[in-house]
Structures are given as structure tokens and as C-alpha cells.
Structure 1
Amino acid sequence: MGPKHPLPNFCHPTGTTAPFVPKAGAVVSTSEDHSLEEFGYRQELHRSLGRYASFAAGFSFISVLTTVFQFFAFGYAFGGPVFFWAWPAVLAGQLLVAACFAELAARYPISGAIYQWSSRLSNASFGWFTGWIMVIGQIVVVAAAALALQMVLPALWSGFQLVGADPAPTSRDGAANAAVLGVLLLVLTTLVNVVDNRVLSVVNRVGVTAEIIGAVLIVVLLLTHAKRSPGITFHTGTAAQSGLLGALLVGSFTAAYVMIGFDSAGEMSEETHNPRRTAPRTILTALGAAGLLGGLVVLGGLLAAPSLTDGHLAVDGLSYVLTSTLGDGVGRVLLADVVVAIAVATLAIQTAACRMLFSMARDRQLPFARTLARVNPRTGMPGAPAVVVGVLAAALLLLNFASPDAFLAIGTTCIVMLYLAYAMVTGPLLIRRLRGEFSTAGTDETGAPLFSLGRWGIPVNALALLYGLAMTVNLAWPRAAVYDPAGGHWYFQWFTVLFLAATLVAGAGYRMYRKHTAVRSAVPEAAVQEVAA
């Protein structure tokens, strides 16, 4: 194994700076419990995930059916059929990022992957802000994923429209109903995230298997019911409002939203058998499989849609294509499979956010750190983070009662935050490579060489960073047509920039408060030591 990077010094509540040492008496549950000692931790989470469960963690976060069904209408409304070509472009860029993450997952198999990797590649403060941005983005993604039920359940059965009569997500009734359905789903996912990680693993694996089968069936059925040739994807159509480049840039939002979260396999490293070998491979396979299936679903929807000009595709999206093309019977069965995918995706995203909170709290970098870092010795689950994420995500859903546009702005903002957090990992990694400080040597648990990009490391890393920064700017650009379609709300148009700025200010304020209280607490402690002497 290559040279170890020491655990960065974290500021303790007492005001001293020293590597964090977990409390004595932590539960050790498997024969692999010493694998974390080199990073300064004890094994508290239960190792019970195999390779497929690790793959499921990444694939279910990406959740092709959830996000494609949720954002297909958005991409088509702004880009027309040509928005399809944004999909392979985003997939190629994300594979570059995933390759860098695979290297890091092999060398730092720790929960809270993005935060841990950034801390070890740069410094404690930079890593903290990376984790802070990432966890807030994840909490918003949890809420956004739960909202996807509104795209499917009312189309499956009108009885699921519990509020009002208009199921359109952009209507006041649809937005309110989406919030109600989302909160009910969050109650269920929070319970699963508290119960036991074996239950969590089973639910994830079953759900991902159902989603893959459903996605393959949808692709086959849509392509066999195609009404036009693939050449239609070279047309912008009447939907594209700002030319070919604008159509691709805004159309890329759909692909950008889908292809995030592949790092979840790294988030679950402390619960995975042989993580140095397993996590790098499942990061890449989860993204590759999701990218391929998602692209085919988008293509099938465009080819099989009854009409590209009647306005339905830009409002109702793929739900409209399934029920109108395949008939109510088959369409409803496939929509039921999409419901399963949405539930499992929400669960997986919440789990990833829980592990990020747990990891940062274990280093005493968050308020109420002791509670958030506590692991139930019987279940092997950190219960408090699950409740916190569930409550905060549910609170965000309530914004839908006030304004659907407000949540659309927040939902798009969370993508920007995740892309920025990814760049805050690939950036320091590139600096390490250029300085010759990143070792590619070492072996995994089976004695095989660790996953490595070898001589391709620098060019792949550089392209990954450039892509990540370019996509962050593209997603955050204050387009009035995207962020303020109704007009007259400048704060919606600039919402992404304002939200990110508020996140950074809040984080800096908390860091200053922590530093101030640490200095104050050090004074009486010094006085006690003097009296004792």
C-alpha cells in the first residue's frame, strides 16, 4: 500500500487541535474492524454489504427512472428533441469525475467520502466546507426526489391526488399534493434508515433489481412502438427557445440531475466488505449502467411519443408517453415500477446524507456532534442523522404549498451544490498529482493493485475538473426562463447564486462561532489546571 496521508487536525470542542480519536468502547462487529484504524477511527457501522449492495447504493441514488421521469418534460420544454445529445456529453464528463473518485475510494474507504477525500487532499477547513456544501445539497436532493411521486402516482390512479383536482406539478393543487405525498414517503424512508442496515440493504437491492428490469422493459416497449426515426434527435423543434447551443445547455439539466450520486458506493465504504476493491468498481459500473439505461429511456420516449408538438410532452413527460402509447394496462404496471424506483431513490439519497452527517459529526465538526455520531450497537445505524435529514427535507417540501417555482429553484440549486462539491475534490486531487504527492501504489484486500489511472491520471483529472466547473457555471447561470418563468421575481432568477452565497456565509459564521467558543472554553480549563498544579 502507498504512503498513508495523516488524518487532518480537527478542532475539538475544548479548543485543542489533535487527530480525532473515537470514544472507547465503540462496538466492533466484524473481522474487518481494524481496517479503519489507520484513519483514526473504530469500526462502529456494521459491515454487511456485498458487491451488488454497493452497486445498488450508487445506482439507486442516480435512479434513472426517478429522475428521467421527473425532468424529461423540463429538458424537452427548453431543448426540444435535440436535448437528447446533452445526455452522452454529461455522461462522458461524469465518467471522468467517477474515475477520479474510484481512485480515492480505493485509498480512503471512509463514510462521508466527499468530505473525507477533500479534507485529506487539501486541509481541514477546505474539507469542512466541501462537506457542508455537499450535505446541504444532499438534503435538498432528498426532498426533490420525494416530489417525483407527483409525476407518477396521480397518473397511476386519480385517488392519489389528495389535494385539489389538477395533478400538474406546476399547478397550485399539484404542488401541494406533491408535498403531501413527499412527506409520507419521507416518513417511510426515515424509518428504514433507523431500523437496521441489513433491512436497508435488502430494500435497496430489491428496489434496484425492480428498477433495472422496469427500465429495460420500458426501453424495449418504447423502441418497438417507435413512430419516428432517431434522426429526430437532431431537430430543436419549436420547443427550443434559444438556438441549438442554448437548447443543449439548458437541456443538459436533465442529464446533470440524473447522473449524480454515484459516489454513494464510497459513502457506504465502512459498511462494505473489501471496500478498497469493491467501491471503485461499483462507482463506475453504477454510473455506466445508469447512463446507458437512462439514455435509451430518453431516446425511446422521443421516438414513441404520440406527438412532439401537441404540448403534452413538455408538461406530462414520460408518464404521458407510457400511458398513451402502451395503453393504460401496461403503462400503469410500468408506472408502478417507477413508484418503487422513486421510493428506493429517496431512501438511498437520505442514507448518503446520513453518512455524511455522521462522518462530519464523528470528527466533531457539526452542532450536536455527540448525538449525530452515535451508532446503535444493535442495528449498526446512526439514527439521529436519519431523523435530521428527514425532518429538514420535509420542511423544504412545505415550500411547495407557497410556490412551485420556489422549490424548482431550490431543486436546481442542489445540483449546482453537488457539482461544486465534486470540483472541490477533483481540484485538490489535481494539485496533489501535479506536485507528485499522490501515490498510485498499493494493494487492496485481495492483494491486487489498487484501482489507478496510471499515466492517464493528470489528463483525466484535469478534464474532470474543467468539466465540473463548466457545468457548475452552466447550471447556476441566472436564466430568467428557467428560474423565473412567471417573471417579476428577480430573487428566483438569482436564487442559485444567493442560496450558495447564504450557505457559505452560514458555514463561515458557524466556523467563527466554534473558534470563538473554543478560545473561551480554554480559559477556565487553563485556570483549573493551574489550581491543580
Structure 2
Amino acid sequence: MTSRKLSLDSFSTVTRPPPPRTETDTAMSLTLTRPAAAAPTASHQDAGDLGEFGYQQQLHRNLGKFASFAAGFSFVSILTTIFQLFGLGFGFGGPAFFWTWVVVFAGQFMVALNFAELAARYPISGAIYQWARRMGGEVVGWFAGWFMILAQMVTASAAAIALQVVLPNIWSGFQIIGDDPSLTSSSGAANAVLLGSVLLVLTTIINSIGVNWMSRINSIGVTCEIVGVVAVIGMFFAHAVRGPQVVLDTGVTGEAPGYGWAWIVSGLMAAYVMVGFGSAGELAEETRNPRRVAPRTIRLALSVSALGGGLMILGALMAAPSLTDGRLAAEGLPYVLGAILSSPWGTLLLVDVAIAVFICTLAIQTAASRLIFSMARDERLPASKILSHVNARTGTPIAPAVLIGVVCIGILAVNMGNSAIFATLSSVCIVLIYLAYLMVTVPLLLRRLRGWPHDGTATDADGDPLFSLGRWGLPVNALAVAYGLLMVINLSWPRAEIFNPDGTMPLLQWAAPLTVAAVVALGALCFPRRAAHPNPVTIGA
């Protein structure tokens, strides 16, 4: 409209002289041409919203709805984790282990609903740490963040090592060290460390050059993974040799007494997979309108992962050539895929799995780097000044990404020395994640008993009411706590078949409680007792 008015005025100037300008005309002209600063952009509103918590907008706020969803979905990465862990669940519980997937999803969805409510009210990077400290105080918040940092580093290493399961099957040239690709062999373990290290170097570079590159690559990868999941499900159902009633069969395990115990053990597979759905909260300071987007994508990432994973498990059970020859427990999904796919299609699917491994590692490292940044910004970690520095050009905290990459490569080296110890570390880190979740849900439950939340009329940047559980908040929160406690016990139980399957290291059987005790002791030494918090909060504020 402005350019069109100027053109008409210019034409008028040629045909007749303009009338003399008055003070009123001048004032009106200034009013019309002054930049409209009264209506702040959404990004400025989000930055101002962050400022209310005492933080400046340092990270670049460029993520939209799909990028936020992709962060949570790629962390769960069902194509990676179910590909790795299907045999674990089936081996312990037979086909009926399918129902553990449903139970774990129900429990984790209770947790996700609480996280969504917190994400709407505290859209801050380092979500688990920030939520826990606002609900339970500085000590609780610090230990929740401490548990998550260590767990995410081990989880990223475990995801990176999965490349060894995939790449040598695509092309033998990926087996650079030795000729035995098995993870349990010396050459396979060494090659796994090499491939995983290369992957971690790549993800570190991507996380350092900016959130835009990270989100684009992650979104493309998630799209490929979703297409791959749909393709796998379709192939499984198209080649089904038995009906869906197979999930009622306890299999060979059911012939022995105490199937309930075996079924509970088989639930560890689902418990290992369905974590990390809260990553949208970790990227809240880089998401547009996070009060609205993050709560939705936390729930959506878990729900889509659960639906896709459940259909994959069901399809594999229906399409497996045999449920009793032992191969399904030993080989998992590759056994089923190899039986129904020709070589080119099987290779293409393995490429898609490799992409899923890549974006899974990238997403975990991204979430961990934002958690370290958030805690360092509050001066809660050693070398906080370095770890909290944000590169002005890329808008990303580079030092945390580099630190995570280096530590993860060091953790990978453990696999080369003893694969049993690495597998045990991978299992124990899930216990730490569930403990960190409890350090949010337990204090939150106590706050609810005192009337939290108190902001019934609060709105997001669009003016819509914040996500709230309303009167369902108390029962949902209580169920989330009960589920979390039971799962921590189940994950930590000293089972030789999980922590010491070859029987050579009996001490590993007690790895979970011993590791948790060691992590707590080390955390107590690292806790910044004398350092005043630069941005203290009132509990529950």
C-alpha cells in the first residue's frame, strides 16, 4: 500500500502543485512512516518470555513444529533401537512380550503428560534440570541434570556403536579392521569403535555449525526413518504367515514355571527404547512459541514412536518364518527382513537404518549439549564460563558439543576392551534416565498437593491457554511416580542374564545399584556447594 500511494502522489505532483503542508499533515506523515515497533515479532515475544526467568536470548530461535517433533522422535529412534533390541524382548518373553510395549508406553505417557505441562510453563533449555530445580530445589535439580548428562553420554555412545551392526552388512568395505564384523569379536569391537568415532566427529561438527544445519539434517533423517518404518511395517504385514493372535502366545518361555517373571524381564526392551521423548523441552530456547509447540511435540514424539514400534513388533511376529528355531531371539529383526526381502531392497532398508542411527546419535548429543549449557550458564559445572559460551555467529554452545563428542569416544573404547562392560553401562544409563525423570515427577507431585499450578489463566505467544492436565493432574502424576519407581526397581534388579550373560564377571550383576551409588558419590563431590546460584528460584515458582 505504501509504494502504491507514493506513485499516486508523484503523478499528482506532475498534474498540479501540491497544497501547502500543515503541522497536522507533518505529524500524520511521521506517524504513518514510523516503523511499527509496537507489535513485537513472535521471536521477540519468546525472548521476552525467556527474560522473565532471568535469562537472555543467546541461542538462535529458528526451530518450528516439525523440527521440534523430530528432536524427540529421533532420540527414541524406533528403527535403531527395535532393530537392536527386538531379540532381547522376544528371547525372554516370547511373542507375548508385545504387551510389555503397551504397558511401558502407558507408563511413559503419564510421564510425558507431566513433562508437557512443565514445558508449557518453563520453556528453558536443560529441561529436566530446570523443571526439577523449580519443583524440588537446587540440589534436586542439580542431581537430575547430573544423572541425565552422564546417561545421555553413554546413550549417544551406544547409539553410535550400532553402526557396526548395519554398515558392514551394506558393504564389506566398512569392515576396516579385521574381517569379523561381530561386536563380540576383537576385530568387530575395534571396528565398531572406529565407525562410532567417525560418526561422533560428524555429529559434533554439525552441532557446532548451527541449529539450522542440525534441524535440517535431523528433519530429513526423521522423514527417511518414518518412511522406512512404514515400509518395514507394510512388508511385514504383506508377508505375514500367522495372525495377530500370535501376541497371546507365551512361546517356549511359557512352558517353564514363572512366566510372569520372564515377561517382566522382557519389558526391559521397551524400557530401553521409550526414553528421550522430552528432547523438545531441551530445545525450548531455540523453538518458536515453545510454550505451545514443546508440550505438543513431547506427547506426539512418544505417541508416534509407540504406534510405529508396536506395529513393527506385531508385524515381525506375524512374518517371522519360525518362532521356535531360536533365530528370532538371536538375530532379531534382521532375521525376519532377510527372509522376506531380496538383496537390493534389504540393502536399501539397511541404509535407512544407518540414517536412523546417525540422526539418533545427533539428537542425543544435541539434547545433552543444551543440558550442559543450561547448567553451565547457572555456574553449576566446572569450567562453566567455557561451557556456557555461545558462538555469536552459529548461535550454538560449541564447547559442550565437543566435550560430549570426546567423552563418548572414550566410552566407546570400553567396548574394545570388554563388550560385556559396555553393554552393562548401556543398560545402567537407562536407570539413570528413569531416576532423573523421578526427580521431576516426585517433587511435582508434592507441589500439586499444595495447589500447583497456580497460573490457570496463563497463555502462550498466540494467546491460547497453556496445556494443563486440570483435575487429572494429581492422579496422572501419581501414576507416573508409581510407574517410575517400579521401572527403576525392574531395571536395577541384579539379573545375571542381563548384566553378566556369559557368567565371567559376577560383580557386573550388581552393576546398576553400584553404578548409581558411584554416580551419586561423584556428584556429591562435584556439587557446587560454595557457589551462589546467579539466578535462584523459589521452589515451585
Taking structure 2 as the reference length, what is the TM-score of the superposition? 0.88
Q: Is the 1:76–1:239 contact (alpha carbons within 8 Å) kept by the matching residues of 2?
A: no
- Specify the SS of the correspondent of 1:438: coil
Whether 1:37 and 2:51 are equivalent positions in the alignment is yes
Given residue 487 of structure 1, which amino acid in structure 2 is its aligned partner? Answer: G
Distance 1:180 1:309, change over 3 A: farther
Residue 517 (structure 2) pairs with residue 498 (structure 1): no
**Aligned-residue offset at 1:242:** 6.8
The residue number in structure 1 matching 2:312 is 297
What is the CA-CA distance between 1:123 and the residue it aligns to? 0.6
Residues of 2 paired with 1:231 and 1:246: CA distance?
Answer: 22
Q: CA deviation at 1:365?
A: 0.3
Which whole-Å CA distance do the structure 2 matches of 1:227 and 1:263 have between them? 37
Matched, 1:361 2:376: yes
- 2:229 is aligned with what amino acid? A
Measured after TM superposition, the shift of residue 169 of structure 1 is 2.7
Q: Which amino acid aligns with 1:101?
A: F
Q: Does 1:448 align with 2:464?
A: yes
1:139 equivalent among 153, 156, 161: 153
- Offset from partner CA, 1:148-190 (integer Å, 9 cap, x none): 1122222222332233333333344333322221111111111
1:130-279 equivalences in 2 (<5 Å): 130-238=144-252, 243-279=258-294
CA–CA separation in structure 2 for the residues paired with 1:117 and 1:150: 37
Partner Cα separation in structure 2 for residue 81 and residue 173 of structure 1: 34
User: Hey, what's the Cα distance between the residues in 2 that align with 1:145 and 1:53?
Assistant: 20
- Alpha-carbon deviations, 1:333-390, whole Å to 9, x = none? 1111111011001000000000000000000000000000000011000000001111
Cα offset for 1:321? 1.6
Residue 417 and residue 457 in structure 1: after superposition, are their counterparts in 2 closer, same or farther (change >3 A)? same
2:308 & 2:161 partners in 1: Cα distance? 22
Q: Contact 1:36–1:43 at 8 Å: present in 2 too?
A: yes
Q: Secondary structure at the match of 2:391?
A: coil
Which shows bigger deviation, 404-413 or 31-40?
A: 31-40
- Cα distance change on mapping 1:400 and 1:194 into 2, 3 Å: same
Tell me the CA shift for residue 517 of structure 1.
8.3
Evaluate the alpha carbon distance shift between residue 246 and residue 167 of structure 1 in structure 2; reply closer, same or farther with a 3 A threshold.
Answer: farther
User: Is the 2:42–2:288 contact (alpha carbons within 8 Å) kept by the matching residues of 1?
Assistant: no
Name the structure 2 match of 1:111. Answer: 125
Q: 2:399 aligns with which of 384, 389, 402?
A: 384
Call closer, same or farther: CA 1:411–1:322 in 2, change over 3 Å: same
Among candidates 98, 118, 121, match of residue 135 of structure 2: 121
Q: Displacement, 1:239?
A: 5.1
Counterpart residue type for residue 457 of structure 1: G
Give, as a single letter, the amino acid of the residue that structure 2 aligns with 1:467: Y
Q: Residues 335 and 494 of structure 1: is their aligned pair in 2 closer, same or farther, counting only changes over 3 Å?
A: same
Question: Does the Cα contact within 8 Å between 2:428 and 2:492 map onto a contact in 1?
Answer: yes
In structure 2, distance between residues paired with 1:57 and 1:517 = 33
Which residue of the partner structure matches residue 437 of structure 1? 452
Q: Secondary structure at the match of 2:323?
A: coil
User: In the superposition, relative to structure 1, how do residues 466 and 124 fare at CA in structure 2: closer, same or farther (>3 Å)?
Assistant: same
In structure 2, the residue corresponding to 1:478 is in which secondary structure? coil
Equivalent pair of 1:151/1:319 in contact (CA under 8 Å): no
CA distance in 1, matches of 2:125, 2:184: 37
| Greater shift in the superposed pair: 163-172 or 61-70 | 163-172
> Partner amino acid for 2:80?
T
Shift of 1:30: 4.6
- State the distance in 1 between where 2:414 and 2:402 align: 19
Cα distance in 1, alignment partners of residues 335 and 165 from structure 2:
10
- The correspondence for 1:473, drawn from 482, 489, 501, is 489
Looking at structure 2, the residues matched to 256 and 475 of structure 1 have their Cα atoms a distance apart, in angstroms, of 8
The answer to whether the 8 A contact 2:113-2:299 is kept is: yes
Match of 2:352 among 327, 332, 337: 337
**For residues 484 and 251 of structure 1, what CA distance do their matches in structure 2 show?**
16
* CA RMSD between the two structures: 1.7
Aligned to 1:418: 433
Deviation string, structure 1 residues 427-483 (Cα, Å, up to 9, x no partner): 000000011133251111111110000000000000001001110110111101111
Report the structure number with the largest CA radius of gyration.
2
Instruction: List aligned pairs for 1:27-66, cutoff 5 A.
Output: 30-31=43-44, 32-66=46-80
The answer as to whether partners of 1:319 and 1:335 remain within 8 angstroms in 2 is no
Cross-structure match for 1:400: 415
Supply the AA of the counterpart residue of 1:152: V
Q: Which residue identity lines up with residue 174 of structure 1 in the other structure?
A: G
Query: What per-residue deviation string (whole Å, max 9, x for no partner) do you get for residues 307-343 of structure 1?
Result: 2223322222112221221121211111111110110
Determine the C-alpha separation between the residues in 1 that align with 2:345 and 2:452: 56
Deviations 1:3-53 (A, max 9, x none): xxxxxxxxxxxxxxxxxxxxxxxxx99523222111110000000000111
User: Counterpart amino acid of 1:141?
Assistant: T
Task: Give the % identical residues.
Answer: 54
Q: Runs of 4 or more off by more than 4 Å in structure 1?
A: 239-242
- Cα deviation for residue 95 of structure 1 reads 0.6
Q: So what's the TM-score if we normalise by structure 1?
A: 0.89
Partner secondary structure for residue 314 of structure 1: helix
Please state if 1:73 is matched with 2:87: yes
Q: Tell me if structure 2 keeps the 8 A contact 1:266–1:279.
A: yes
User: Residues of 2 paired with 1:173 and 1:186: CA distance?
Assistant: 20
2:152·2:364 contact (CA, 8 Å) conserved in 1?
Answer: yes
* Pair 1:464-2:480 in alignment: yes
Residue of structure 2 in register with 1:14 after alignment:
none
CA distance in 2, matches of 1:242, 1:475: 22
In structure 1, what is the equivalent of residue 33 of structure 2?
none
Structure-2 separation of matches of 1:151 and 1:347: 18
Q: In the superposition, relative to structure 1, how do residues 243 and 184 fare at CA in structure 2: closer, same or farther (>3 Å)?
A: farther
Structure 2 CA distance for partners of 1:75 and 1:169, relative to 1, 3 Å: farther
Listed as ranges, the gaps of 5+ residues in structure 2 are 1-40, 533-541
**DSSP-derived class of the 1:35 partner:** helix
Q: Structure 2 counterpart of 1:203, which letter?
A: I
For residues 93-152 of structure 1, the C-alpha deviation after alignment (integer angstroms, 9 at most, x for no partner) is: 111000000000000000000000000011111110111011111111100111111222
How much does 1:252 deviate?
1.2
Aligned to 1:10: none
- Tell me the alpha carbon deviations over residues 31-81 of structure 1, each in whole angstroms, 9 at most, x when there is no partner: 232221111100000000001110011111111101111111222222221
Alignment of 1:81-100 (within 5 A): 81-100=95-114
CA–CA distance in structure 2, aligned partners of residues 173 and 303 of structure 1: 35
Contact 1:104–1:117 (CA under 8 A) maintained in structure 2: yes
